[in-house]
Amino acid sequence: MSAKKDDKPAEETMETAPEEAQAPAQQQQQVKVNDTDVAASYANFCRVSSTPEELILDLGLNPQPLDPANTEINVGQRIILNHYTAKRLLSALSMALQRHEQAFGVLETDIRKRVVRQQT
């Protein structure tokens, strides 16, 4: 799936990691991100694997999330990161999810506990 492109590049703030924040010489950095040619896609499946040098993140669409054993999942995106970038991503995702859960409640990751069964 594609998302609508903005005419202007987005500007984001990159914060230092908690371990780096202790160093007085380091301050918040402004990073300009040009996302005019970005293609957005949706994923409800993720697989993580790694080598000594890299972490590999496969993202795809699972059309049958209630029966994953009998479903073929097409990987739509493969992101390859070094372990330093993966650790920064882990920290950023963790902070974003904590803020979301504080605002909207705890996210249940087990789909079987989220599905409401209809009585017959």
pLDDT tops 70 at residue 25: no
Domain ranges of the chain: 45-114
Q: For residues 66 and 83, give the distance between their C-alpha atoms in angstroms, rounded to a whole number.
A: 32
> Can you read off the two tokens belonging to residue 26?
């380091």
At 75-86, the pLDDT tens digits run: 999 999 999 999
Averaged confidence pLDDT in the chain: 81
Phi first, then psi: what are they for 21, rounded to 5°? -65, -20
Tell me the per-residue pLDDT of 27-81, one tens digit each, with 9 for 90 and over: 778 889 999 999 999 999 999 999 999 999 999 998 887 776 778 889 999 999 9
pLDDT for 14 beyond 70: no
